[in-house]
Structure 1
Amino acid sequence: MKKQRGLNTICTHSGELEDKQHKGAVSPLYMSTSYAFEGVEEKRYPRYFNTPNQVGLAKKMAALEHGEAAIIFGSGMAAISTSLFAFVKQGDHVVFQNTLYGGTSNLITEEFDKFGIGYSFTKNSKPASFEEEIKENTKVVYIETPSNPLLTVTDIKAIAEISKKHGLVSMIDNTFASPVNQNPIDFGIDVVLHSATKYMGGHSDILAGTAIATEAHLDKIFQKAKNFGGSLSDFTVWMLERSLKTLGLRVKAQNENALALAEFLQNEENVAKVYYPGLSSHPDHELAKSQMKGFGGMLSFELKEGLDPDLFQQKLKLIKSSMSLAGVESTMLSPAKTSHALLAPEERKAQGINDGLIRFSVGIEEKEDLMDDLKQALEEVKVKV
C-alpha cells in the first residue's frame, strides 16, 4: 500500500503543475478560456472544470479530504446547491440537520418547493433524530458539523452508517472544521463540501467552493455542474492553490488560539456563555474528541444580560467586526444580522440563535494581544451600561 503523505506535504505539493519551460517553483497559471479540440487527449473548457489549473487544484482538494476526486466551484453555495440537485429530483426527499448555515437553509426553503422536492429538518443533531425523518422517497442526508454558529457536533460515523443502511447519499458541510481537523470520508460520508472562501482560502480574498467524493459520485455532480455553470476563474483557482500551501500551519495556529480564547472568555465575569467544542463544558466535547483532530478556530459567545453586543464589537481595536470567517485576521459578527439574517426570527430562535450571540473567527495573531483587546472592549461596555 502506498504511504499517504503528511498534511503539510499534501498542502504544498499535491496537484502542483510542473513548469516545464522555466522550471519555476510554483504552478504556472494558464489563463486561456479557449483550447484546441483536435489532436489532444482531452478537450478542455473552463465550464467543464478541466482546465490545467482546475484539474491540479482538484487533485490537491481530493488528497486533503482522502477522497478519490474533487471539483472546484465559484462559491460554497454553488458547491452545496449543485451537489444537492445532482442527487435529487421532483418527488424526492432530503433529511437536513436542524442547525445549518443560513444560506443553506434559505436555499432549501426558497427553492426546493419550486422543484417539487420534499425536505425535513431534524429536531436535534442526535442520530436517532435523523432516522426518524427518513421516508420512502428520501435520497440524501445532509449534515454540518461543527455547526454555524453554535458549534454543535454531529456524530459523523453514525450518520454515515444510517445513510448506508437506508441506501442514501450522505453529505456534509465540513467548512468549519477544515480538512486539517476533520476528514468525514474516513468515517463513511459520501460527499464532503466546503466553502473554500473560508479556511482553504484563509486570507479573505478568495470566493470559492469544492465538493469531494468518489469518482462515481463526482461524475453525477459534474453532470449537473456543467449545466449550472458554477465554475471558477483560473486566476482564482491559482490563488487558492497558493493559499492551500499554508492551510495546515494556519489552522494549527487558529486551533491553539481559539482554545485559549474560549477558556479565557469562559472565565470572564461579563460573558454568560461560550460555545466551543474544545471546552470540557461543551455538551459534545467527547464526541468532538473522537472525530476531530483539532477543535477549530471558530467559537461563539453571549455577553451577560444588559451588556450591548453591538457596542462591544464597536469598541474592539484589533479584532475586526466583519463578514465571513476563517481569515488569518480575527473577526467577529452578529449571526442574526449577517450569516443567518435570511432566516425568520422564529427560525433563528428555534436554532438557539439569539440577537445577542456573537460569532468569533479567531485568527493567527498573538493570543495575548487578542485577550487584551477583548478585555478592553468588555471594560468599555461595562462603563457605558
Structure 2
Amino acid sequence: MKKGINTICTHVGEIEDEVYKGAISPLYMSTSYAYEDVDIKRYPRYFNTPNQEALCKKIAALENAEAALIFGSGMAAISTSLLAFLRAGDHIVLQNQIYGGTHNLILEEFDKYGIAYSFTRGMEVSDFEAEIQENTKVVYIETPSNPLLQLTDIRGIAEIAKRNNMVSMIDNTFASPVNQNPLDFGIDIVIHSATKYMGGHSDICAGAVASSGVYMERIFQLAKNLGGSLSDYTVWLLERSLKTMGLRVRAQNENAQKLAEYLSAHKDVARVYYPGLKDHPQHELAKSQMHGFGGMLSFELKHAKKTPEFQNALRLVKSSMSLAGVESTLLSPAKTSHALLSAEERLQQGISDGLIRFSVGIEETEDLIADLEQALRSISQGKKALPV
C-alpha cells in the first residue's frame, strides 16, 4: 500500500541513528571513505554518500520513481539530463514557454554541441507533433509554465513520445510532487529545481531528477563526470525541509486560490493567470492531471506603468528573486527569471514588462489580501502606502 504524501515526506529515506537513537537522520560530513572491504565505495561526486543516498530515496518515492539523483542546482539537473540523451546530430522539441534559464541554455550551448532544437508555436499536443523530425530524441515540457501558468497535456505528450521513440522530460518545479506526479501519466524523466518547493525556506540551492533505474543510470554516468553533486550539509538541510513539504504546499495552494479570486475581481487588475480559476482556459486539464493548483500565480495591473510603484508600496509581500518559500514574494519576470530573453522573445511568449509573478507563501490569507489592497489603493488614489 502506497504511503500518504506527508508520511513519505517525513519517513522515507531516513537514516537510522544507530549510535544515539536520535529522531532525525545523522549528518555524515566526510568527503573521504574507506575503499577496502566495503560494499560501496563512497565518494561525494558519485552521489553515494549516506545522506545523498537517503535523500534520493525520498525524492524517488515522492515521484513514484525507481531512482533519483540530487544536484547542486536546478540548472545542473536540467543540463545533465538533457545532455545524457542528446548528442551531435540529434534534435529536441521544447515547448515555447519554459523557464528563461532553460531557454538560454538551449540557445547559447546546443549549437556548440551540434544539437538541433525546435520550440513549439503553442502548447497543444499537435504543436509538439508538428516539430518532430526523424532525428528527434527528446521532448521537453514544463507545466504549469513559468511565468504564465499555462498547462501542457502531460499524458498526450507522453503518448507521442512513446509513439516516436523519444524520451520525454518535464520540469515539475511549479507543481511540486505534492500537486503533480508526471511519471504516473507516462513521462520518462521528472526534473525539479529543489531550491523551490522542496527546499521551501529560501535558503537552499539544489536540483533533482527522478526516473526509472535504467534512465537514471544513464544520467548518473554523465553526472559523475560533470561534477554537479551537492554538499552533504545542504543535502541534510533539504531532507529536513522535505518533511514539511506536503503541509507547506497545501497551505500555499489554499492561499493562492483565494488570492487569485480576489485579484481577478479587483477593478485595478487587468488579468490573472492561475489554473485554479474556473475561467482559466485549461482549468479542466488542470483538474485532470493535478492534485492541487499550486502556489504560483501571475497577474497584470490595468495601469501597467504603475507596476513598480505597486511593488514598492507592498509592506508584507517582498519583491524578491526565486520562488516557493514560506514567505510570499513577487517579481517582474522581464527583469529577473526571463531577463536573458530579448524583449521580442518575451513578447512572443506573452510576457509583458508589466507582468507580475506572485509566489504565495503560508501567511494568513487575510493579511496578504490586506497588503495587496493597500498597495493597489495607493497607486489608484495616489496615496502613501500604509503599514500592514
Residue in 1 that maps onto 2:346: 348
Runs of 4+ in 1 over 2 A off after TM superposition: none
TM-score by length of 1: 0.99
**Letter of the structure 1 residue corresponding to residue 277 of structure 2:** L
Looking at structure 2, the residues matched to 270 and 32 of structure 1 have their Cα atoms a distance apart, in angstroms, of: 56
Q: Is the 8 A contact 2:179 2:294 kept in 1?
A: yes
Among 17, 20, 27, the alignment partner of 1:19 is: 17
Query: SS in structure 2 opposite 1:192?
Result: strand
Residue in 1 that maps onto 2:222: 224
Give 5+ residue unaligned stretches, structure 1. none
Q: How many residues align?
A: 383
The structural deviation recorded for 1:16 is 0.4
Query: SS in structure 1 opposite 2:330?
Result: strand
Q: Deviations over 1:130-178 (max 9, x none)?
A: 0111101000000000000000000000000000000000000000000
Q: Is the 8 A contact 1:297 1:361 kept in 2?
A: yes
Q: Deviations over 1:330-381 (max 9, x none)?
A: 0000000000000011000000000000000000000000000000000111
Residue in 1 that maps onto 2:143: 145
Give 5+ residue unaligned stretches, structure 2. 384-388
Residue in 1 that maps onto 2:180: 182
Task: Within 5 Å, give how 1:1-385 maps onto structure 2.
Answer: 3-305=1-303, 307-384=305-382
Looking at structure 2, the residues matched to 254 and 75 of structure 1 have their Cα atoms a distance apart, in angstroms, of: 23
Residue in 1 that maps onto 2:386: none
Q: Is the 8 A contact 2:92 2:139 kept in 1?
A: yes
Looking at structure 2, the residues matched to 127 and 222 of structure 1 have their Cα atoms a distance apart, in angstroms, of: 30
**Letter of the structure 1 residue corresponding to residue 155 of structure 2:** K
The structural deviation recorded for 1:382 is 1.3
TM-score by length of 2: 0.98
What fraction of aligned residue pairs are identical, expressed as a percent? 70
**Letter of the structure 2 residue corresponding to residue 169 of structure 1:** V
Looking at structure 2, the residues matched to 306 and 92 of structure 1 have their Cα atoms a distance apart, in angstroms, of: 42
Q: Is the 8 A contact 2:310 2:379 kept in 1?
A: yes
**Letter of the structure 1 residue corresponding to residue 239 of structure 2:** E
Q: Deviations over 1:251-286 (max 9, x none)?
A: 000000000000000000000000000000101100
Looking at structure 2, the residues matched to 228 and 315 of structure 1 have their Cα atoms a distance apart, in angstroms, of: 44
Looking at structure 1, the residues matched to 176 and 70 of structure 2 have their Cα atoms a distance apart, in angstroms, of: 16
Query: SS in structure 2 opposite 1:329?
Result: coil
Q: Deviations over 1:91-132 (max 9, x none)?
A: 000000000000000000000000000000001110001011
Looking at structure 1, the residues matched to 282 and 100 of structure 2 have their Cα atoms a distance apart, in angstroms, of: 22
Q: Is the 8 A contact 2:305 2:354 kept in 1?
A: no
Query: SS in structure 2 opposite 1:336?
Result: coil
Instruction: Name the Cα RMSD after superposition.
Output: 0.7
Q: Is the 8 A contact 1:307 1:382 kept in 2?
A: no
- Indicate how the Cα distance of structure 1 residues 325 and 294 shifts in structure 2: closer, same or farther if over 3 A, else same: same
Q: Is the 8 A contact 2:304 2:354 kept in 1?
A: no
Query: SS in structure 1 opposite 2:130?
Result: helix
